[in-house]
Chain A
Amino acid sequence: MAEQPWTERFRPRTLREVVGNEEAKDRFLEWLRSWEDGIPEKRAVLLYGPPGVGKTSLVVAAANDLGYDLLEVNASDYRTAKRLKEILGRASTQQVTVTGRRRLILIDELEGLSGREDRGGVEAILDLIRETRAPIILVATVYTSLREAWERKLRELMKLSLPIELRPIPVVEVIERLREIASRVGVEVEEEVLEELAIRSEGDLRTAINDLEAVARGRRRITLQDLEALGLRDRQLYAEEALRRLFTAKTLQEAKGIISSTQLNYDELIDWIYENIPYILDDPRELSEALEALARADIHKARAERSQAYRLLKYMFDELAGGVALSLERSQGLLGVVERHLRAMGIPLSLLKLEERPEGVSIAPVRYLGGDTWRRVNMAVRSLGGSWDREGRRWIVGYLRPPRIALRYWWSREKRRMLKSISSKVASRMHISTSRAVRDVIPILKVIFQSDPEMAEGIAEWMELDGDEVKWLSKG
């Protein structure tokens, strides 16, 4: 038998193996179980969310665990309403199959027919739902950034069914699943590798597992260095190239050319620029103008995405090219930034020799510094992301650093979701508004959950916090 890709090989067979989204899972199962007492009010569930979070897997695992006979179709394979009805019409009128097993209908990849030309398809599905005697599950892949537009489009389907959203899987859960897979295939993987893979996947477990398979192929042990093979290295090179050329561009036209020809996507490009601008522009006015231009570029991009009027992206181009790239005039680049920073930290520059080198700005003591001074310089350099090069007896601050914003922003979105659910529990039990709960009580809860497990346990029970919420509050 040909070897299956790991994503298939480790597709969850049981509900227990489907990680994350506990609350959504519970609601889904509750609905499915409600069929045991007759046909419920909502005859269909609409599972939606970004790719690779386990939508299809959840249905397959539930069918397995609860003993359903799964009839699975892809909406996009039956582009005409007539075909869809032919396939599903009869099945949906029977609650059990000829073998006596209960029937479950899965209509996957619904997003394939969300367009206007598929009106008929949507109508056909609406009809099916109204009449079905077997549970129907609709599954749609919806990118978070397009959610609103999408919800508008499928409003009727959402109304007629019970919509359940699956969200990106939290990093810790991705790590755990990867660790389990690694141990089942018998590869030893450094913890940092798992973390890096999990973070990069942005909650998409399929991507994470694919990446793991790609690095693990033919290896027994994986270290962080092996990861570079996966492309971070490439991104870094592209970004270096793009940023270097951008900040030396002389005309708007030239800068736009660079932006449109880079291998990075717009988000990556904005992230890289954002991360590195303060290390390139040391002149306050130039820094301020460039960041403002970047912020405007970002807003143009957001508007384009929200309205799906992609022509608006050209304004983003202009801001990035004209506003950001052409901002560099007086600034001295990283050398200037380092000088300024050391001076601000009260370190006499006469003690050090600063110079630009291919690997970054080098900061070498001109004479023996003594422990205290050395430590002060070291701290200052480290806060710029630099480090001591023992052999060269100097510090090096690299020109570019990879962006952290995507990861961080993602965390904070995750966090906001948690805050919302925890704060509404706090609000109703403590007789305060949710915003006061966030401001005044959640910080208190965090202190408690991070220092007194016993007290925390009691409170968790009282507030009926779920596992994700407890984990979140307990995280440092």
Chain B
Amino acid sequence: MSSEMWVEKYRPKSLDEMINQEEIVARLKRFVEERNLPHLLFVGPAGVGKTTAILALAHDLYGPDYRNYIMELNASDERGINVIREKVKFFARTAPIGDVPFKILIMDEADSLTADAQHALRRTMERYTRTCRFCLIGNYSERIIEPIQSRCSIFRFSPLSEEDVKRCLRMIAEKEGVEVSPEGYDAIYEESRGDLRKAINLLQAAAAASGRRVDADVVYAVLGRVSPGRVREMIQLSLKGEFIEARELLRSLLIDEGMAAEDILRMIYSEIMRLDIPERLKVRLSDAIGEVDYRLTQGSRPEIQLSALLAKLVLVGEEMRGGGAALD
């Protein structure tokens, strides 16, 4: 029997079912009543209902076959603004049938577009205003250029409260026949904060891993299998001079977790920036990381490149302990 991931199964279909975000929901409902929309810009952290809200609005506006009236694009998955424009052109070419004279184009992660791409997008938005409304979604409004912001109604989504998150989790747990201890809920909330997608996913994994009896230990065990804590451990091992162990961990990240070398590198970078080490060492390491990043694009073997970086960390660790092998 086919069954959705819980995040999808319990995604509100209609604006009425949305949790919190009350002002936003009220304003959106007015658009539905008027059967008209401005261009929209939704900003806010992950998993707070941005995508849900626009899908629900479309549902309420067009009815159950709303999928025929919308197109979803994710800017970070599309190959360049030209491809996006082509798709928009094709989608917005014709007016929809029915009493709503426009379709809705949803552009997720719009804040990942470069400023140039956004300018190009702005022109496209203008050209098709008659048949198409845009809903741009992103995490930060500062990363959206002024001219686009000024053409959109901006909606700022806030993180959901602990109470909201737990209430939603409880509802799902009940419907799915999962027993969750209070500490279990605490642990899930602690990790996910106001990101409901993360919270629901975590609940589902914990339920699967425990025969549907979730407590805090189960949650932590699941987290140990998914979190980037292992990158941190790898760096610490290197700094302690335990290169061989650090390399084993690197292998396990590449192989067992299937992580891309680029992702590991990104995590190494942000960890190192947070380390308590002299600034000049950070700069030097940043330079080394940048070099590895470039080499990865050149077809060299990721494991060897990353290992060489770990060895540099060993050297830094040695210097900080005042060992003989000081970096010059």
Residues of A within 8 A of B (CB): 270, 274, 278-279, 283-285, 287-288, 291-292, 294-295, 298-299, 301-303, 305-306, 337, 340-341, 344, 383-384, 404-405, 408-409, 411-412, 415-416, 418-419, 427, 429-435, 438-444, 446-448, 451-452, 455-459, 461-462
- Residues of chain B contacted by A461 (CB below 8 angstroms): 1-3
Q: Cβ of B307 and Cβ of A274 under 8 Å apart?
A: yes
Q: Which of B36-67 contact A (CB under 8 A)?
A: 51, 55
Nearest CB in chain B to that of A303: its residue: B298
CA distance A439 to B197 in the complex (A): 13
Nearest CB in chain B to that of A408: its residue: B255
Q: What's the nearest-Cβ distance from chain B to residue A141, in Å?
A: 20
Binding site secondary structure of chain A:
helix
Q: Cβ of A452 and Cβ of B298 under 8 Å apart?
A: no
Q: Cβ of A440 and Cβ of B201 under 8 Å apart?
A: yes
Q: Cβ of B258 and Cβ of A284 under 8 Å apart?
A: no
Q: What's the nearest-Cβ distance from chain A to residue B61, in Å?
A: 18
- Residues of chain B contacted by A305 (CB below 8 angstroms): 299
Can you list 17 A-B pairs, Cβ within 8 angstroms, ordered by A? A270-B304, A287-B314, A288-B308, A291-B307, A295-B304, A306-B298, A340-B241, A383-B248, A408-B255, A429-B5, A432-B74, A433-B74, A440-B198, A441-B5, A455-B207, A461-B2, A462-B5
Q: What's the nearest-Cβ distance from chain B to residue A360, in Å?
A: 15
Q: Cβ of A462 and Cβ of B258 under 8 Å apart?
A: no
- Residues of chain B contacted by A337 (CB below 8 angstroms): 244
Nearest CB in chain B to that of A443: its residue: B226
Contact of A459 among B3, B76, B211, B303 (CB under 8 A): B3
Confirm or deny: B222 has a beta carbon within 8 angstroms of a beta carbon on chain A. Answer: yes
CA distance A154 to B208 in the complex (A): 49
Q: What's the nearest-Cβ distance from chain B to residue A272, in Å?
A: 12
Q: Cβ of B255 and Cβ of A412 under 8 Å apart?
A: yes
Q: What's the nearest-Cβ distance from chain B to residue A443, in Å?
A: 4
- Residues of chain A contacted by B225 (CB below 8 angstroms): 443, 446-447
Contact of B299 among A288, A302, A415, A416 (CB under 8 A): A302
CA distance A306 to B299 in the complex (A): 8
CA distance A344 to B245 in the complex (A): 12
Q: Which of B274-328 contact A (CB under 8 A)?
A: 295, 298-305, 307-308, 311-312, 314-315, 317-318, 323, 325
Contact of B300 among A299, A433, A448 (CB under 8 A): A299
- Residues of chain B contacted by A405 (CB below 8 angstroms): 301, 303-304
CA distance A447 to B307 in the complex (A): 28
Q: Cβ of B201 and Cβ of A441 under 8 Å apart?
A: yes
- Residues of chain B contacted by A416 (CB below 8 angstroms): 258, 260
Confirm or deny: B4 has a beta carbon within 8 angstroms of a beta carbon on chain A. Answer: yes
Q: What's the nearest-Cβ distance from chain A to residue B184, in Å?
A: 15
CA distance A337 to B241 in the complex (A): 11
Binding site secondary structure of chain B:
helix
Confirm or deny: B247 has a beta carbon within 8 angstroms of a beta carbon on chain A. Answer: yes
Q: What's the nearest-Cβ distance from chain B to residue A298, in Å?
A: 5
Confirm or deny: B209 has a beta carbon within 8 angstroms of a beta carbon on chain A. Answer: yes
Q: A288-B311, A294-B308 are in contact. Are A278 and B298 (CB under 8 A)?
A: no
- Residues of chain A contacted by B76 (CB below 8 angstroms): 433, 435
Binary flags per residue of B223-247, CB closer than 8 Å to A gives 1, else 0? 0011000000000000011111101
Q: Cβ of B202 and Cβ of A444 under 8 Å apart?
A: yes
CA distance A299 to B247 in the complex (A): 19
Q: Cβ of B315 and Cβ of A458 under 8 Å apart?
A: no
Confirm or deny: B111 has a beta carbon within 8 angstroms of a beta carbon on chain A. Answer: no
Q: What's the nearest-Cβ distance from chain A to residue B168, in Å?
A: 17
Confirm or deny: B205 has a beta carbon within 8 angstroms of a beta carbon on chain A. Answer: yes
Q: Which of B101-131 contact A (CB under 8 A)?
A: 108-109
- Residues of chain B contacted by A283 (CB below 8 angstroms): 325
- Residues of chain B contacted by A415 (CB below 8 angstroms): 255, 258
Q: Cβ of A284 and Cβ of B323 under 8 Å apart?
A: yes
- Residues of chain B contacted by A383 (CB below 8 angstroms): 244-245, 248
Q: A284-B315, A443-B226 are in contact. Are A451 and B208 (CB under 8 A)?
A: yes
Contact of A433 among B7, B77, B307 (CB under 8 A): B77
Q: Cβ of B303 and Cβ of A408 under 8 Å apart?
A: yes
CA distance A101 to B102 in the complex (A): 55
Contact of A419 among B205, B258, B305 (CB under 8 A): B258
- Residues of chain A contacted by B299 (CB below 8 angstroms): 302-303, 305-306
Q: What's the nearest-Cβ distance from chain A to residue B107, in Å?
A: 12
Q: Cβ of B208 and Cβ of A408 under 8 Å apart?
A: no
Contact of B222 among A287, A439, A447 (CB under 8 A): A447
Contact of A427 among B77, B197, B295 (CB under 8 A): B77
- Residues of chain A contacted by B300 (CB below 8 angstroms): 295, 298-299, 301-302
Confirm or deny: B72 has a beta carbon within 8 angstroms of a beta carbon on chain A. Answer: yes
